Structure 1
Amino acid sequence: MARVQDVAAYILDQLGPMTAMKLQKLCYYAYGHHLAWEERQLFPERFEAWANGPVCKELYAKHRGRFQLQPGEIKGDPKALDEGERESIDLVLAGYGDFSASQLSQMTHREPPWVWARERAGVDAMERSDEQLTDDDMFEFFESLNAASTDGAE
């Protein structure tokens, strides 16, 4: 199984330089959609309901204190991704890659996995939280997104 840094390195290779926040959110969307499409985790690391949206603390540790990230600055192995994982990430990048970090963060603040985790933690808008987003909540939400996009295509 790939690790979050493998996914992050792949995303940076595909899209080029971006903010750390945008990278976090793209990893989140890749994880959620992959979970719904493939019914398996993209990587074992978890997302937490931080004040600015979902954050994977293991990825955060790799870029802490950095605003902008360049390809090659997150040490991961994009070759660790299997074909299904790369396909999921590529679809997410095609759908979400043009959004800014701020837009992606705002989107996550309206979505149930982050909202529910913040509610479980009992925290206000800008309070710290390390409450994890659950795979069940993420699967339910992203599967409903996928179903809605499929319904609209018919």
Structure 2
Amino acid sequence: MNTKKGIQILKNYGFFVKILSFCIFLLYPYVKNNYQRKRVTTLSPELQNVINWFLSKDSMSPKKLQKLLYYAYSWTLTLENEDSEELENRLFEEDFEAWVHGPVIPDVYFEYRNYGYQNIPKKDFSPDLPEEIEDILEQVWEEYGEFTGNELETITHKEDPWRNARKGYNPIERCNEKISDIDIFNYYIQQVEYID
């Protein structure tokens, strides 16, 4: 009698597991999409202003926006600081990570990822920024604004800061390593000195 009850319980348990698995299978896409939509991004006001400044120039893909933000950050870090020992003057507080497709600010990625390969619409306004910052952004736009996101990705892949952060990773391996401000400064200060 106890053996029969045990077998019946196992059969009922097996049936329950199958039903539960089926429900999870049906609900997974909904739960996954709902979780992704609810991710809250918090962009600093400084970063949001720089994003709005670039988007006031033209519509662009999220990838192009990320790379322009990277160059704006890098140029500001290099031009607004005396040496790599004291990198106090940053364009914004967010850090870049060395993702497969180049430097990325994760919160910017999550903010604009619904655009995929489509362009983020152009903004009708440009934020007020300090004159020296606006001057740097104009220089970055003049230097890199004509490139596509894919072309900018290729350029960043040839530069030391991104490459250093990805040491030990293969080209298509996921990586969340931060790109070092010291590496950024040391690399781009050489470019400035080379031009002078």
| Shorter-chain TM band | 0.7 to 0.9
Quote the offset at 1:2 in angstroms.
Answer: 5.2
Correspondence for 1:142: 188
2-side partners of 1:64 and 1:18: how far apart?
Answer: 13
What RMSD, in angstroms, separates the aligned Cα atoms of the two structures? 1.9
1-side partners of 2:143 and 2:45: how far apart?
Answer: 22
Quote the offset at 1:143 in angstroms.
Answer: 0.8
Larger radius of gyration: 2
Correspondence for 1:85: 133
TM-score (norm 1): 0.87
Pick the aligned partner of 2:156 from 104, 108, 120: 108
Quote the offset at 1:84 in angstroms.
Answer: 1.4
Quote the offset at 1:96 in angstroms.
Answer: 0.9
SS at match of 1:49: strand
Instruction: Give the fraction of aligned pairs with identical amino acids, expressed as a percent.
Output: 34
Quote the offset at 1:127 in angstroms.
Answer: 0.7
Correspondence for 1:21: 63
Is the aligned partner of 1:69 residue 2:112? no
- Contact 1:117–1:132 under 8 Å retained in 2: yes
Correspondence for 2:47: 4
Quote the offset at 1:8 in angstroms.
Answer: 1.0
- Contact 1:5–1:59 under 8 Å retained in 2: no
Quote the offset at 1:3 in angstroms.
Answer: 2.4
1-side partners of 2:140 and 2:101: how far apart?
Answer: 20
2-side partners of 1:78 and 1:132: how far apart?
Answer: 28
Correspondence for 2:93: 44
- Contact 1:5–1:77 under 8 Å retained in 2: no
SS at match of 2:98: strand
- Contact 1:2–1:42 under 8 Å retained in 2: no
- Contact 1:50–1:128 under 8 Å retained in 2: yes
Number of equivalenced pairs: 144
Is the aligned partner of 1:129 residue 2:175? yes
TM-score (norm 2): 0.69
Determine which structure has greater relative contact order: mean sequence separation of CA pairs < 8 Å that are 6+ residues apart, divided by chain length.
1
- Contact 2:161–2:179 under 8 Å retained in 1: yes
SS at match of 1:62: helix
1-side partners of 2:172 and 2:127: how far apart?
Answer: 34
1-side partners of 2:123 and 2:54: how far apart?
Answer: 10
SS at match of 1:140: helix
Distance 1:62 1:77, change over 3 A: farther
SS at match of 2:103: strand
SS at match of 1:54: strand
Quote the offset at 1:52 in angstroms.
Answer: 0.4
